Amino acid sequence: MHQILGRSSRPRPPHGRNDHQVSVREDTMATSNKSAASSSGTSGRKAAQRPTVRRVAIIGGNRIPFARSNGPYARASNQDMLTSALDGLVSRFSLQGERIGEFAAGAVLKHSRDFNLAREVVLGSKLAPESPASDVQMACGTGLQSIINVANKIALGQMDSAIAGGVDTTSDAPLALNDDLRKILVQLNAAKSNAERLKLVGKLRPGQIVPEMPRNAEPRTGLSMGEHAARTAEAWGLTREEQDELAATSHQRLAAAYDRGFYDDLVTPFQRLTRDQNLRADSTAEKLAKLKPVFGGENGTMTAANSTPLSDGASVVLLATEEWAKARKLPVLGYLTFTQTAAVDYVHGDEGLLMAPAYAVPRMLERAELSLQDFDYYEVHEAFASQVLCTLKAWEDAGFAKERLGLDAPLGSIDRDKLNVNGGSLAAGHPFAATGARIVATLAKQLAEKGSGRGLISICAAGGQGVTAIVEK
């Protein structure tokens, strides 16, 4: 389900259109609208089975300040943080005791006790306990994918309201038992005699007591996300200077947005933190140039400053129909219109782990009949400064357009003054599943402030995947 609803603005000519890429979802919507228009010639029952596609409004968002790993939120669980973010949203829009259509959220790092995380959060929140909930997991794309899942249900008339987002804590990351130890413990639990138990205990070895620590590495390659990104940065010829400049700009813009009150109705305090802990308002490219590389070896260009830190935090967004919002006298910030997911073969092919958005965006633009330049704002997730810059370079590259995208011409460049105008993940931090809702709420509010316009969202994710979306006002 890639097209959420019909676009409200005048279409532009498609860029490098290939008809075979038009989604089934788009064709289905066209059929649904035609059926509804001709329903006078059918029975009432048949007409009711062919719902029209409704516009999905973004009403607002809320998050807690993002914190560095093992910092202010060291003792907070995923459930604690996500409940706080949700209750902040509930209070802001006076939804106490109200039953919403669905709450969808997820986390990348989850304890077994969090098998039903979203539902447990609802039960501990100020929402009506009759509000259903679902868990979603798509690595760093979890938050945006959660939003897309419920937005499609609203568009198809299955419900009128929903809240979606995500949470993650690297401070409370689950530790796995050594697999041999786990098997012995399972057998001990099933043992029927002391003799059996003693025999099993005799199999224990000191090395089995050490837990398996969580690793930020791709299972298929054994390389961390940063190591993968460093390879891609080298392949695209990125300089240290341009990465540091992007990182410094992210901090400066986030600080400016906080100072002008932009985040006053998007962030609620948690554990005495009122702003993102990673924010360094005085960051400059010159200061960042003094740091040593952490990825890519001694001559690498990626540092702790131009890479996102391990972070803790939660974020949610309220979505609804226009009618639902109007009945509650709630303003609409914008509308979610088109979305697209993509994946790349970073294991057997030569594509970078985080380059899937470079493929998802042109496919989405084709269906939306837009060019890359038809946007007022661009929100490109800053997993690493190098990842953002590689994606932008790919869209500008004629060879990439022809050989990888099958286009006659590249998508072209964007106005950097429109990129992450209120700061990005390099400054705010990146609690994996929480980033999507942070970006959607930020972009929707920016469009509402402008009064009209269109914004593009691009989020890379582990596993070689990417999630993208268009928000319009």
Residues facing residue 56 across a β-bridge: 336
- Would you call 430 a catalytic residue per the annotation? yes
Task: Using only the alpha carbons of the chain, give its radius of gyration.
Answer: 23
Please identify which of the residues 2, 15, 140, 381 carries the catalytic annotation: 140
Q: Provide CB contacts within 8 A for 58, sequence distance 6+.
A: 317, 318, 319, 332, 333, 334, 335, 336, 440, 441, 444, 471
What tokens appear for 110 in the block?
């989850």
Distance CA(411)–CA(357), nearest Å, equals 13
- Would you call 381 a catalytic residue per the annotation? no
Q: Which helix (H) or strand (E) holds 207?
A: helix 206-209
Question: Which one, of 355, 387, 105, lies nearest residue 246 by Cα?
Answer: 387
C-alpha of 328 from chain center: 28
Residues facing residue 68 across a β-bridge: 311
Please state whether 261 falls in left (phi above 0), alpha (psi between -120 and 50) or beta.
left
Please identify which of the residues 2, 228, 381, 430 carries the catalytic annotation: 430
Q: Which helix (H) or strand (E) holds 314?
A: strand 311-320
Distance CA(163)–CA(213), nearest Å, equals 33
φ, ψ for residue 265 (rounded to 5)? -110, 25
- Would you call 390 a catalytic residue per the annotation? no
Question: Which one, of 378, 455, 452, lies nearest residue 417 by Cα?
Answer: 378
Please identify which of the residues 15, 251, 381, 460 carries the catalytic annotation: 460
Q: Which helix (H) or strand (E) holds 232?
A: helix 225-235
Pair type for strands 161-168 and 302-303: unpaired
Burial class (CB in 10 A: 0-12, 13-18, 19+), 198: exposed
Q: Provide CB contacts within 8 A for 333, sequence distance 6+.
A: 57, 58, 59, 60, 444, 445, 447, 448, 473
Q: How far is CA 282 from CA 253, 264, 289, in A?
A: 11, 21, 14
| Residues belonging to the active site | 140, 430, 460
